[in-house]
Structure formats: C-alpha cells, structure tokens
Structure 1
Amino acid sequence: MITFRVWLIEVPVAALNAFVLMDRVYAPRLGALAAHQIAMATRIGWILVLAGVIVHFADTYAARSLLLAGAFWTALWLAFEWAGSLLIGRPVHEILVGWHVERGYFWPYVLVAYLLAPLLVGSIVRAIGRRSSR
C-alpha cells in the first residue's frame, strides 16, 4: 500500500524535524512551545505534500479509499508515537504534553491533517481535473 511506503519515507523527515530542528534549533532560541508550534505547522505543510504523493499513486480517487488511507496513516503515527515512547521509557504525562491544545500545542491538529489530507488533496485534484476537462 502506498500509504505505508509514504509513511516509511516520512519517518526520518519527522525525526529530523523533531529532534534536530524543533529540539536543537527552534527551542533554544524561541522556547519549547513556539518550537513545537513551528515544527508542527511545518509538519502539516509537508503532510499535504505527501498526501499529494499518495493521491498521485492511488488506484482510485474514491472518497472512501482516500479517507481509509488517511485513517491508516494516522493509525501508523499513533502506534509509532505511543509504542516508541513507551519502549524508551517516556512517561505518559510527557507523551500527552503535545495533546494540550488549550495550552497551544498542535499535535491533535497534526493527526487531523494525517486523517483528512488524502481526502482533501484528492478532492482538489479531482476538481481541477474536472475543470480542465471542460
């Protein structure tokens, strides 16, 4: 499945974004919250680009299949984040920090982007295709 392949490609990009850019570049200069916000906003941007890759290689543009791809993509990240964090002994309260949108954190928005990006990009590509065929 193309979604899994895109996810495998994205893992090192996400690691670079989190462990190098967010932790070592942005956070010392701007603080932890601003660093998180910049890194997650950037991540949402590349999610849309990678959703374009998924749509490009998809066999169908059916809304159901694109939503299923987004759900699979989201599940992969949730499993990776939780399993990886727990395996390295990270406490749950630390894992949950990014979930607090009321404190300005963006992680839930990133997950929504993973869920809906293939459907959104597929809908845009379909609309552009219909418009250009007229």
Structure 2
Amino acid sequence: MNETAKARTGAQEKTSEAEKGREIERANARLRHFRGVAASVLTEALGLWKEIWFALEDPRSCMEILDGAEDPQRLPVRDDQADLLEKLHVLGVKIDYAKRLCEGDIGREKQERRETERWKNS
C-alpha cells in the first residue's frame, strides 16, 4: 500500500471514530433529556399524589385510632374507600421509586453506602 492510500485510510478511521464519538454524545444527551423530563413529570405526579393523600389521610393519632375515637369531620370509611386508600398508597410508593430511578438516586444510594461501609471498616 502506498503512502497516499495509508494516509487516506488513517484519515477515514479518524473520521469514523469522531462520528462514533458524536453519535455517543447525542445518545447520552437524549438519555439525559429523557431522565430530566421523566423526573420532572414524576415530581409533579408525586406532588399531586401527596395532595390527595393528605386530603384523605385520617387526622387522628395512632392511639386515637386504636382507642376507637370518632373523628367528627370524617365520614365512615367504606370497604371500597379502604381499597382505594391502599391503592393510592401503593401508587405513591411506585411514583417515588420511578422518580428516584430517573434521577439516578437508586444506584447512587447503594454506591454511597458501600463507600461509607468501606471507610468505616478501614
């Protein structure tokens, strides 16, 4: 292979590597954008869930509930309302988990814990 062909091949490889690098950066940017949008939507959803949850939450303390104290402002809870409250609670847990997952907090917590444990053990 002559010098011109070698130079041309080398230039093509460099261009190909540069294109791959730009494509990787574009993909990473799209993923960062997705995470940001998803985290924002889930933050709003979690805020709405909290408003609903606090509006439906029993204002009595644990001891008042166990003692059977009546809440004059609250209507009696029917079975379907209890199921709704349970589903609402599960929804809130799932929204919170999805939000933390999109923000990247899920894996980070484990990594930080491992690093803390390593530091304490050394």
More relative contact order, 1 or 2 (CA 8 Å, 6+ apart): 2
Larger Rg: 2
Same fold (TM over 0.5): no
**With structure 1 as the length reference, what TM-score do the two structures score?**
0.27
